[in-house]
């Protein structure tokens, strides 16, 4: 493995990390909006939610959905990039 191959691998890894972070933030933003609207609406209209979900509970619901969306999407993006890189290396060798 020469210096150009190591440099190419580093650049590919950095691009993969950046792409996964961007995709993760995008998914987290969508999940935040998608979970905040029903949560806030439920707290104002449903008596059980009004009585049992304080501000901390509401924040945990919204942040839990956002965090899960970020990590799931970032993981899927990294795995997809790794699969593409492995396929490209295999095709290059044959």
pTM, two decimal places: 0.80
11 falls in which pLDDT band (50, 70, 90)? confident
Q: Is the pLDDT of residue 3 over 80?
A: no
Q: Phi then psi for 2, rounded to 5 degrees?
A: -85, 180
pLDDT in tens, 36-72: 999 999 999 999 999 999 999 999 999 999 999 999 9
Cα–Cα distance measured from residue 75 to residue 65, given in angstroms and rounded to the nearest whole number: 15
């Amino acid at each position: 493995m020469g210096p150009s191959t190591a440099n190419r691998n580093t650049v590919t890894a950095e691009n993969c990390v950046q792409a996964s972070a961007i995709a993760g933030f995008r998914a987290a933003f969508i999940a935040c909006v998608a979970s905040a609207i029903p949560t806030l609406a439920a707290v104002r209209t449903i008596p059980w939610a009004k009585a049992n979900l304080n501000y901390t509970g509401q924040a945990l619901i919204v942040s839990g959905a956002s965090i899960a969306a970020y990590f799931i999407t970032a993981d899927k993006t990294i795995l997809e990039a790794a699969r593409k890189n492995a396929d490209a290396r295999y095709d290059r060798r044959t």
